[in-house]
Amino acid sequence: MTYLIQNPYIINYREVRKGSVLIENDIIKDIFYSDVPEAILNNATVIPAGHLHLFPGIIDDQVHFREPGLTHKGDIESESKAAVAGGITTFLEMPNTKPPATDIAAIEYKLKRAAETSWANYGFYIGATNDNYREICEAGRDLVAGIKIFLGSSTGNMLVDSEEALDYIFENAPGIVAVHSEDEGIIRAEMEKALSQYGTHIHPRMHAIIRSHEACMVSTRKAIARASKYGTRLHVLHLSTAGEAELFGLPGENKHITAEVCVHHLWFSDKDYEALGNKIKWNPSVKTEKDREVLRRAVKEGRIDIIATDHAPHTREEKQKPYNECPSGGPLVQHSLQAMLDLYHNGVFSLETIAEKMCHSPAQLFGIKNRGKIEKGYYADLVLADLRKPHIVSPDNLLYKCGWSPFEGHRFRSTITYTFVNGKLVYENGKFTGLKDARQV
């Protein structure tokens, strides 16, 4: 199929420029910054896009789609469909499923399921444990996106606290080592304090104290020191504190230690626990307005390289449990780009920064070839957004299997109108076309 996206604002290479994009089969065949030849206009399916903004497909380097074993919360098909509706065309999925993806057989199973059911391009991390560290370092980039290490416990009980295991992985990993960075000892001590003071009546606002600034700082400093010692390609996931943001360097060549921040840490603050409670209980926790402000600044300075979601659905019933029984995490992939566009409207980020941190940088840092840019010869993973068309989030328009969102009732100022995956028009004005062509990246 041949499409011409006619005259949108193209967000690419740190610039916004009017042009037209020709899609032929699965690639971007050409880009026109002046008149489009008549022969092309006559032979392509034309999408008039004069008031729309065209982004490269969003690449989300951290999602939890819950398959296998936790599919009452979500699965690869349901959550990738929600992702495509939100403009995400590629995702990298985490290993804390049931059973966890801690060996090659588990990764191969996920790849098979994704090939059968996913709406978006896909890749998977292999998970580290205290016992499998030698085996996982043999997994090549053609099979896994990276090695995931939980330095602090979270959903799935995959904590790695063996010094021997950590040293071996940091010294021998063939690619990216991605870490969930919180200090387990500090978290447990703070939880014991809260339980002794409040019993089972802990308010969700305590989450930012239990999973504290100190817990993040201590762990992230250790991870950076270890990576510096061994020359590890380290990627620190979901920064949540101002102090951590200062630990990362400004942009430069051969940057081997990089960082990610998630949409919820750029959007919410600890003041939101009063209204939203467990709905914004994530690990690491949502912290103060000052932390949020510094994280935003670090994105613009280039200290933080990637913006992702940490999409981690739980059922509404699970999130309504008392704090100490409620799992951490929430659904975000359907609205991450819309949230970032609201921050653009509010003057926080430029459109170019959004494209850089959600498209260009994830592709570059994870070695995802020919994606993440609007460039001739690249795969046609593309998203059109209407920045003048509001969208109100309600249970009726949610695609998550869990059926809820922390953004329910919010009126976003922009709407995702078209999503292409490998040149296939998968999503159009609120409806799915039935076309699918997802691939491993």
* Spatial CB neighbours of 409, under 8 Å, sequence gap ≥ 6: 392, 393, 394
Tell me what pLDDT residue 50 has: 96
Range(s) within the chain of domains with CATH label 3.20.20.140: 59-365
Of the pLDDT bands very low, low, confident and very high (cuts 50, 70, 90), residue 93 is very high
pLDDT tens digits, one per residue of 33-70: 999 999 999 999 999 999 999 999 999 999 999 999 99
Q: Tell me what the mean pLDDT of segment 85-106 comes to.
A: 97
pTM surpassing 0.75?
Answer: yes
Tell me what pLDDT residue 14 has: 85
The DSSP H or E segment spanning 315 is none
**Rounded Cα distance, 185 and 207, in Å:** 15
Tell me what pLDDT residue 140 has: 87
Tell me what pLDDT residue 155 has: 60
pLDDT tens digits, one per residue of 224-274: 999 999 999 999 999 999 999 999 988 765 689 999 999 999 999 999 999
* Spatial CB neighbours of 248, under 8 Å, sequence gap ≥ 6: 236, 257, 258, 259, 298, 303, 304
Tell me what pLDDT residue 253 has: 59
pLDDT tens digits, one per residue of 170-216: 999 999 999 999 999 999 999 999 999 999 899 999 999 999 999 99
To which CATH superfamily is domain 2-54+375-395+409-432 assigned?
Answer: Urease, subunit C, domain 1 (2.30.40.10)
To which CATH superfamily is domain 59-365 assigned?
Answer: Metal-dependent hydrolases (3.20.20.140)
Tell me what pLDDT residue 15 has: 92
- Strand pairing category for 20-24 and 391-392: unpaired
Radius of gyration of the chain (CA): 21
What residue type is assigned to position 301 of the chain? E
Range(s) within the chain of domains with CATH label 2.30.40.10: 2-54+375-395+409-432
**Rounded Cα distance, 183 and 323, in Å:** 20
pLDDT tens digits, one per residue of 128-149: 999 999 999 999 889 999 999 9
pLDDT tens digits, one per residue of 281-326: 999 999 999 999 999 999 999 999 999 999 999 999 999 999 999 9
> CA nearest 441: which of 392, 385, 379, 350?
379
> CA nearest 435: which of 120, 56, 82?
120
- Strand pairing category for 234-239 and 177-180: parallel
Q: Are 404 and 398 in contact (CB under 8 A)?
A: yes
Tell me the three-class secondary structure of 369-407, residue by residue: CCCCCCCCCCECCEEEEECCCCEECCHHHCCCCCCCCCC
Please state the φ and ψ torsions of residue 350, each to the nearest 5 degrees: -85, 160
Tell me what pLDDT residue 279 has: 98
Tell me what pLDDT residue 158 has: 82
Mean pLDDT of the chain: 96
